[in-house]
Amino acid sequence: MNETRWYVMFLERGKNYNKMTKAIAQQHVDNIRALDDAGKLALCGAFRGYPGMAGMLILQTETREEAEEICRNEPLVALGYATYQLRDFLPANRENNYLM
């Protein structure tokens, strides 16, 4: 069994972002809900005061390839309203002595 790996998906506004409809936004929310239900979403949210940034999802997957697939299938990305950057994330906590 593979261990869970963490990834941060940064959503960046595309040139069509301001043309997004409520129906597209609902597809985005439905996708987030499905990721959460599947245990693939640790945290998500929107950014305010950072031009060009739309939001962030912290993903929990077994492989980077799985995280990349989630990013490509995100409706805002797949439909051209946003782009993304994916970063590996190493959580610091008591169990790993805060990465010391």
Domains identified in the chain and CATH numbers: 5-90 (3.30.70.1060)
On the question of pLDDT at 40 being above 90, the answer is: yes
> Tokens 């008591």 correspond to what residue?
94
For residue 3, name the pLDDT band (cuts at 50, 70, 90). Answer: confident
On the question of pLDDT at 2 being above 70, the answer is: no
pLDDT tens per residue, range 80-95? 999 999 999 999 999 9
For residue 39, name the pLDDT band (cuts at 50, 70, 90). Answer: very high
Instruction: Note whether 23 and 79 are within 8 A (CB).
Output: no
pLDDT for the residue 78: 98
Instruction: Note whether 57 and 32 are within 8 A (CB).
Output: yes
